[in-house]
Structure 1
Amino acid sequence: MSAADPVAVTGLGVLSPGGAGVDALWRACAEGDVAFRTVAHFDASRTGAHRVGLVPEEATEPGAPPPGHPQRLPYLVHRAVADAVADAGTRGGEGAGGGGTRTVLVLGTTDGGGFPSGAAWRAWHEGRGPAGASWTPYAPPGPEWPVVRVGNASAAGATALGVGADLLRAGIADRAVVCGADTVTETAFHGLASLRTLSPGGCRPFAARRSGIRISECAAAVVLERRARAPLVRLRGWGGSNAASQAARPDVEGIASAVRRALADAGTAPEEIEYVNAHAAGTRHGDVAELGALHEVLGARLPRVPVVSSKAALGHCQGAAGTVEAIVTVLTLLRGRVLPTLGLADRDPRWAHLDLGGAPPSHPPRTALTLSCGLGGSNVAVVFDRAT
């Protein structure tokens, strides 16, 4: 397998604010039926934004660690990974053979304490934990897998996809199980509140009155393999940049650079892109920079390419945003339907000429791009295409 070869996407698993599984995710993004809740596991009374997106209780097993529990993150990771691996087992990739397959778990997260390393994974699997902690041993699949942890702010999940693809292309592994995961923690919540990033109105991408984000928890897993008999889609390439003039504000040049590198890695021309799942969190400056970057790369074609944000439906899933939005992109290619960007009753008039999703496409998109941006100038783009 050469460094330029696409890799097969063979399995998907997700627990999102919309529920468990890809159908619940798709329904949430199509209909916006996520019940955002007031934070109850820490004190958020001194902030103007109190609501967050949580995986619904009915989507977890009885006795599962609740929000705020130290094992909430490992539990969500396990569930998403187990579902993705089971899904991949139906497609006859190299991973379907089990024992002889070199598998690596690539974990993208902003959480530096809840799940820091392979040692934590094994300790959790064996039922060991800090003194006095309630340590529920939800056994993960493949506890012998090496774990690569990727931390890249809100672009962590997308970066993890690129790292997983590179491990396969280099022949280091046969299968990469990529999982983006984050919970709603007091540290992250108040950190974002101190930056004045949180909005009481939630994520309103591309809206005239957009004013910030609402954070959510999520675990989203994607199985990548060197080859498979019946892949879902292919990950063709990825690219990133670390460029911004202000730590909390992406720049056109930095985002455009990531997109161009992804297209070059994928061997894909800009005119082949037929769908974009944008980072588009609904911040005043971020949406402007992202659409400016897409105009730089796609040029006059941009008004004819659907550009959709999933964050209006799901909230901002933090380090999991890149993987859960990649799954929405994969489902768009598989199902041939472009979902809308929700909440556009007051669309910013600057973008009245753009296709922000919801209209039936002239033909099902074949090649798609997903974008993620993070604090500190992290920008990541990933290119997918239909396998057949």
Structure 2
Amino acid sequence: MTTAFGRGLEALRQGLAAGQPAFGPVTRFDVARRRVDRAATLPGDPHLIDEITDAVTQAIGRAGLGAEAAARTPLLFARHGDQAPPRLTLPEHHAQAQHTSGTEIAERCGLRDATRTYTNACVAASTAIADAAALIAAGREERVVVAAGYFVDADAYALFDAGRALAADGHLRSFSQDRKGLLLGDGLGAVVLESAEAAADRGATPIAALLGWGRAGDAFHVCQPHPEGLGMAAAIEAALGRARLAPDDIDYINAHGTGTPLNDSAETAAIRRAFGEAARKVPVSSTKSLHGHTLEASGVVEFAVSVLTLQEGTVPVNAGYLGPDPACELNLVVDAPQRVAPQAVLSLNAAFGGANTALVLGAVAA
């Protein structure tokens, strides 16, 4: 994993434990003409494909996959849509087509192929994870590598700024009163998903279990969620059903929580609709308030956050909180991280066009 906290899972672990947001002045490109000048970024101008290649290589190594096993394993890759084509010649565009980037990474890392590239906004990585799980559950693959990445860029920054979606006060205040909007963040990562049988056959020790996944759309508006959270509620219910768990079995919700007025109230409505009375007690936080909104990489970054929550027994803080909003009545973790003994966590993501995903992760015996 890589976030603005630094490269490596340990940097993310320490950043979550400290509970201090990683936002700072944008220096990667000129923001003098922008309303907002803050994001959560690494120093310099890192190269996405090189960094993703390194992350995939590390994930393969940590999973203990040899060259033969890797050569049988496909890659599903989620990335930010390329904003450059209007400024490129046709030959340059063909040479840099975003769908070829996954193939390049797979070849570099010794993987079998990269048959799918996901660019469906903030659910790209979580959709890829759900697709990987479905392929494994159906017996079509024994394991899949999922990778995703986004580095804050001038074009996306300008679009969000022009749309007045960025928080003018420089803080991403998920589910809080007086929240002003989102802030972008660097993020990328890679994860190996594998059937329990395949892992056992090669003596691998899993670090978590993906118990269930759900996807649903509400088609309410191109850039606004359904105010009653109907699509997200359906995704949650599907994920819980696949995991064979009840709302009371979930010990933490890693929320999408972009800090925008419409998203946070709709997500609250979805959680309350799907969880009923259990919504009053389950701890909720959005770690976007710490590492920023990593767009297409959100699903894999927050997947890692969910795994760390299971491993560490600590629920990350919902940073930047100023006080309750009547439209966001949830059991928010504020002030500091909260100690728990989680057995199952739920990670949520939503995207433009009314797309919603829900992933249920469970602890595994040490």
TM range (shorter): 0.7 to 0.9
- Paired residue secondary structure (1:84): helix
Instruction: Decide which moves more: 364-373 or 25-34.
Output: 25-34
* Deviates most, 21-30 or 33-42: 33-42
How does 1:217-366 map onto structure 2 within 5 Å? Answer: 217-227=186-196, 228-229=199-200, 230-251=205-226, 252-348=229-325, 351=328, 354-356=331-333, 358=336, 360-361=338-339, 363-366=340-343
Give the counterpart letter for 1:220 in structure 2: G
Size of the aligned set, in residue pairs, is 343
Q: 1:116 to 1:76 in 2, by over 3 A?
A: farther
Residue 187 (structure 1) shift: 2.2
The alpha carbon displacement at 1:97 in A equals 4.3
SS at match of 2:314: coil
Shift, 1:335, TM fit? 1.4
C-alpha distance in 2 between matches for 1:182 and 1:152: 13
User: What is the DSSP-based 3-state SS (H/G/I as helix, E as strand, rest coil) of the residue aligned with 1:279?
Assistant: coil
Shift of 1:258: 1.1
Q: Matched residues in 1 for 2:266 and 2:207: separation?
A: 32
Matched, 1:105 2:75: yes
Q: What does residue 84 of structure 1 align with?
A: 59
Q: Which amino acid aligns with 1:84?
A: A
Comparing 116-125 with 28-37, which one deviates more in the overlay?
A: 116-125
CA distance in structure 1 between the aligned counterparts of 2:253 and 2:159, rounded to whole angstroms: 29
Q: Amino acid of the residue matched to residue 152 of structure 1?
A: N
Cα shift readout 1:164-213 (whole Å, capped 9, x = no counterpart)? 11121222322211112112222212222232211132311122111111
Question: Partners in 1 of 2:242 and 2:75 — Cα distance?
Answer: 23
Distance 1:347 1:81, change over 3 A: farther
Are the counterparts in 2 of residues 103 and 146 from structure 1 also a CA contact under 8 Å? no
Cα pair distance change 1:188/1:360, threshold 3 Å: closer
1:175 lines up with 2:143 in the alignment: yes
Matched, 1:191 2:128: no
Q: Determine if contact 1:218/1:317 at 8 Å carries over to the other structure.
A: yes
Among candidates 17, 23, 32, match of residue 36 of structure 1: 23
Aligned-pair CA distance for 1:116: 4.8
Contact 1:18 1:56 in 2 (8 A): no
Structure 1 unpaired stretches of 5+: 1-13, 58-65, 90-95, 126-138
Structure 1 equivalent of residue 362 of structure 2: 385
Question: 2:142 corresponds to which letter in structure 1?
Answer: D
Whether the aligned pair in 2 keeps the contact of 1:255 and 1:380 (CA below 8 Å) is: yes
More helix per residue: 1 or 2? 2
Distance 1:35 1:369 in 2: 24
Q: Which runs of 5+ in 2 are unaligned?
A: 85-95
Structure 1 residues 123, 103: CA separation in 2 closer, same or farther (over 3 Å shift)?
Answer: closer
**Between the two proteins, what is the percent identity of the paired residues?**
32
Amino acid at match of 1:156: A
After the TM superposition, list the runs of 4 or more consecutive aligned residues in structure 1 that deviate by more than 6 angstroms: none
Provide the C-alpha distance between the structure 1 equivalents of 2:147 and 2:103, rounded to a whole number of angstroms.
Answer: 17
Residue 129 of structure 2 is aligned to residue 161 of structure 1? yes
The CA RMSD measured in Å over matched residues stands at 2.4
- In the alignment, what sits opposite 1:136? none
* Cα distance, 1:289 vs structure 2: 0.8
Name the CA distance, whole Å, in 1 between partners of 2:337 and 2:149.
31
- Residue 56 and residue 259 in structure 1: after superposition, are their counterparts in 2 closer, same or farther (change >3 A)? same
SS at match of 1:223: strand
Aligned position for 1:5: none
| CA drift at 1:352 | 6.5
Contact 2:17/2:337, CA 8 A, preserved across alignment: no
Deviation for aligned residue 1:386 = 1.0
Partner of 1:149: 117
Partner Cα separation in structure 1 for residue 343 and residue 295 of structure 2: 28
Note the 1:47-62 alignment, pairs <5 A.
47-56=34-43
**Separation of aligned partners in 2, 1:191 and 1:286:** 18
Determine the structure 2 residue equivalent to 1:215. Answer: 184
Alpha-carbon separation, structure 2, partners of 1:157 and 1:74: 16
- Contact 1:276 1:370 (8 Å CA) reproduced: yes
The DSSP-based 3-state class of the residue aligned with 1:23 is: helix
Q: What SS does the aligned partner of 1:167 have?
A: helix
CA distance in 1: counterparts of 2:324 and 2:298, whole angstroms: 23
The more displaced of 199-208 and 97-106 is: 97-106
In 1, distance between residues paired with 2:29 and 2:299? Answer: 26
CA distance, structure 1, for counterparts of residue 342 and residue 220 of structure 2: 34
Q: CA deviation at 1:360?
A: 4.2
TM-superposed CA distance for 1:143, in Å, is 5.2
| 1:48/1:142 CA distance change after superposition, 3 Å | same
| CA apart distance, 1:270 | 2.0
